Amino acid sequence: MGYDAKFRVWRGDLDGGELHDFTVPVNEGEVVLDIIHRLQATQAPDLAVRWNCKAGKCGSCSAEVNGRPRLLCMTRMSTFTEAEVITVTPMRTFPVIRDLVTDVSFNYQKAREIPSFTPPADLKPGDYRMKQVDVERSQEFRKCIECFLCQNTCHVVRDHEENKTAFAGPRFLMRIAELEMHPLDVADRRDLAQDEQGLGLCNITKCCTEVCPEHIKITDNALIPMKERVADHKYDPLVWLGNKLFRR
């Protein structure tokens, strides 16, 4: 059955803004993005929201609902009681462009800083057969839809603009881990991860994993194994001695 919901939606731009109150009809089976679209159609035609697939696959509609990072298109209205006031705000970690739309270019910058997949130069097509376990490991990380909800959530940058230059964020530390664990990749990104992309700033709070709509085990399957690789490399006494002697 339909009902009227109370919505509070943040409206503004980089210079500031405020929450606006709306009362808006809700039909059975709808998601928060449906309600935002109804607001655009009936009460706030210039309300800015980014979206694309409405199926949880493009990663465009990321925002915060009652303070929790979520995909607007995958947040069912049935999650809330009919009496609840539903507050929709833009992602907090990225600069606002307008209303619910943020500038996520920080993430594209971090993506560009990671050296790409590097197979051995003499490897020919068909020379190598991937083991199933290696395929599955990569596949988990490849489910990422780049919604950047994990990036938005991580406390290292959420309220610390000053950390952004030194921290790639969980999505891109996961990308480094994926490449490092790939059996055919010959590049070494361990120093990059630790010294330039801020792996050491991650203190394994797992908030990134909690908000991932693809349920990727970012912390357990990417960040912790990557930390172990860095520790083996940097702090193993034999490796340390070898580095000193042979100046690798």
Binding site for ligand FES (CB under 6 A): 51-54, 56-61, 71, 73
Toward ligand F3S, which CB reaches closer, 31 or 212? 212
Number of residues that bind ligand SF4 (CB under 6 A): 14
Report, in Å, the least distance between residue 50 CB and ligand FES: 8
Give me the least distance between CB of 54 and ligand FES, in Å please. Answer: 5
Q: How many CA atoms lie within 13 A of 241 on its CB side?
A: 2
Coil, strand or helix: which one is 180?
A: helix
Interface with ligand F3S, residue 132, by CB under 6 A: no
Count of beta carbons in the 10 Å neighbourhood of residue 230 = 20
Polymer length of the chain:
248
DSSP SS3 for 210: helix
* H or E element that contains 108: helix 105-112
Minimum gap (Å) between residue 58 Cβ and ligand SF4: 11
> Do 87 and 36 touch, CB atoms closer than 8 A?
no
The counts of H helices and E strands in the chain are 10, 7
Q: What SS3 class is residue 48?
A: coil
Question: By CB under 6 A, is residue 208 in contact with ligand F3S?
Answer: yes
Question: Taking CB under 6 A as the rule, does residue 219 contact ligand F3S?
Answer: yes
73's contact among ligand SF4, ligand FES, ligand F3S, none, with CB below 5 to 8 A by partner kind, is: ligand FES
Q: Does 216 help bind ligand SF4 (rule: CB under 6 A)?
A: yes
Interacting residues toward ligand SF4 by CB under 6 A = 144-150, 171, 211-214, 216, 218
